[in-house]
Chains A and B, each alone.
Chain A
């Protein structure tokens, strides 16, 4: 176990380093620097001075090492798009919104997916089962920006029940704006959870110990809740794990469509404005999150199912 973990962590570090190098090189492959003014170019001597001040005259690997050195101290530089803030401040302002949106979506996805999956499994081959299967296929296949537009057309344009966008802030707290983004974001993972719960529960229901539980005369409810479900939930860990970093880094489309001022929306504007410090920090953040959740879900798996050894 310990050896396995050390190996995995080394692998993660390597991946992290490569991601940062690739991103850094790509950013620097773009012609033009931050001090190239077309209208009134600086005198060459002044420009050389500025470049020296910011360390831009150094070879690329020195610049990279310096960047990573300060990044390790939590200094990712200053955002180009809002120069009064450091990148860390900007992320600290926008990320909690994405985490809240993503966290709610995970909650909704997990509970609804579990409920529908259990119902579909118990009533296998009934009309409920077919409806759940059909909707989960839709939820898995249809992109979430398409779902978002459909929800908008139905609930905001036709029925006028919900606002078209926005997000509750400290001053203006209309929680209704949260409904559509959360549902849109939750639909895909919910469909995934429902599908896996259904198929693994059906498999478990036919196993010997469930038959024993029934033979003991337990109620159907006890059989499913106490005996079958526990084992049926194990595969969910592996599929839900990778969803989490996706959701809490903010799904770009949902934030753009519903005008949620989260990290995803800022990432798009960073790309538009070529805000490289911000892009770089977001990429590193996502890569880190992703790797950690993968590792955690593997470890969790061994805890839940002692038959699996790393």
Chain B
């Protein structure tokens, strides 16, 4: 990228500069060019607004059931019909958005916290700390996330007399496993950045290893982490939906898309709407977050694919 553009000699020599820019402005410019990612971002923001303002948008309360109106097809009164106990399906989908997004975002918050801490420890201290952390990471990858989360939740449920909504259990169980990727990524970034000159310079002026890791290396490892966190949200949402689908996630009356899909399967031959709408909601959410994540990756790191 050359900054100077030479003018013909006769004219006054005035360097024409490219407008000043930084990483974020460049990234935003590249992101805007990606139509798919922008579209997905719009959907993502809409979903977030639905989750935040669920109380205002939803026509009924999520646990308001009229048993006489059970299993209705979509109508003017109930836009998406009603479920097996006569609750408005649209309202339950809307509140389900809130559950999904809360799980997705809080799981990533936990994962980021744990992953960053352990990744930093392993990457900066090295030696036996690194060995132990990496063995743990291997243990957690050796068992599919499902089996582990199912197992954790079943053990907790057994030692818990009052089950509650199950939201917290789901978040903690997925978060406890989900940090592995971020930990691995942080460590790999630290190891690759260790060879850079600016790290040598920081060492030369006597900065401690922790200072170098936090002040100098972490900011440079930021963009892959942002991408990893964004792409981790749909994974967490999917895991929650799956756990609830199997009956180990969110408990009634709190709605969860996964559980709505599971409940639909006994009625699917006749009441198609019960299966169609929640699966559609899950697919839409997962796709929007994935496309935004992919778009962010391309925008933040344009050399990655080339």
- Given contacts A141-B286, A143-B282, A252-B146, is CB(A257)–CB(B151) below 8 Å? no
For residue A145, CB closer than 8 A to chain B, the reply is: yes
Chain B residues numbered 225-275 whose CB sits less than 8 Å from any CB in chain A: 234, 238, 241-242, 245-248, 258, 261, 264-265, 268-269, 272, 275
A19-B139, A26-B151, A142-B286 known, 7 other contacts, Cβ within 8 Å: A18-B139, A32-B158, A141-B234, A149-B275, A149-B276, A153-B275, A253-B245
In this complex, the interface size class of chain B, counting residues with CB under 8 Å from chain A, is 35 or more
- CB contacts (< 8 Å) of A157 on chain B: these are 268-269, 272
Question: Smallest distance from the beta carbon of B147 to chain A beta carbons, Å?
Answer: 6
A30 and B135 within 8 A (CB): no
Instruction: Given A32-B158, A146-B279, A268-B150, check contact A14 B246 (CB 8 Å).
Output: no
Min C-beta distance of B67 to chain A, whole Å: 25
Contacts of B159 in A (CB 8 A): 29-31
CB distance from A38 to the nearest CB of B (A): 13
Which residue of B138, B147, B155, B248 is within 8 Å of A27 (Cβ)?
Answer: B155
Q: State which of B135, B158, B234, B268 has its C-beta within 8 Å of the C-beta of A153.
A: B268
Q: Are B139 and A145 in contact (CB under 8 A)?
A: no
Query: Is there an interface contact between A286 and B272, defined as CB atoms closer than 8 Å?
Result: no
**In the complex the two chains form, what is the Cα distance from A15 to B150 in whole Å?**
20
Contact at B155–A287, with CB atoms within 8 Å?
no
Docked pose: A283 CA to B134 CA in angstroms: 20
B143-A287 in contact (CB<8A): yes
Closest to B247 in A: A272
User: Of the candidates B138, B141, B245, which one forms a contact with A145 in the assembled complex, judged by CB atoms under 8 Å apart?
Assistant: B245
In the assembled complex, 14 residue pairs joining A and B whose CB atoms fall closer than 8 Å, in A order, are A19-B142, A137-B290, A138-B287, A141-B234, A145-B241, A149-B261, A149-B264, A153-B276, A156-B269, A164-B269, A271-B150, A271-B154, A290-B142, A290-B143
Question: A23 to B151, Cβ gap below 8 A?
Answer: yes
Which residue of A26, A164, A253, A274 is within 8 Å of B152 (Cβ)? A26
Residues in B with CB closer than 8 Å to A138 are: 283, 287
- Cβ of A152 within 8 Å of any chain B Cβ, yes or no, is yes
Is A246 in contact with chain B by the CB < 8 A criterion? Answer: yes
- Majority-rule SS of B interface residues: helix
CB contact list, A245-298 vs B, under 8 A? 246, 249, 252-253, 256-257, 267-268, 271-272, 274, 279, 282-283, 286-287, 290-291
Shortest CB–CB separation between residue A165 and chain B, in angstroms? 9
Q: Closest CB of chain A to B7's CB: distance in Å?
A: 38
**What A residues does B245 contact at CB under 8 A?**
145, 253
Closest to B286 in A: A141
Task: Tell me the nearest residue of chain B to A242, going by C-beta.
Answer: B141
Which B residue sits closest to A268, measured CB to CB?
B246
Minimum distance in angstroms from A6 CB to a CB of chain B: 16
Instruction: Kindly list chain A residues whose C-beta atoms are within 8 Å of the C-beta of B151.
Output: 23, 26, 271, 279, 283
- Whether B248 lies near A271 (C-beta < 8 A) is yes
Closest to A14 in B: B135
B144 within 8 A of A: yes
Closest to A27 in B: B155
Q: How far is the CB of A255 from chain B (nearest CB, A)?
A: 11
- A257 near B139 (CB under 8 angstroms)? no
Is A150 part of the contact surface with B, judged by Cβ < 8 Å? yes
Q: Which residues of B contact A268 (CB under 8 A)?
A: 150, 246
A203 to B283 Cα, complex, angstroms: 31
Question: Chain A 130-173 against B: per-residue CB contact (8 Å), 1 yes, 0 no?
Answer: 00000001100111011001101100110000001000000000
Residue A22 lies at the interface, judged by CB distance under 8 Å to chain B: yes
Is B265 touching A257 in the complex (CB atoms < 8 A)? yes
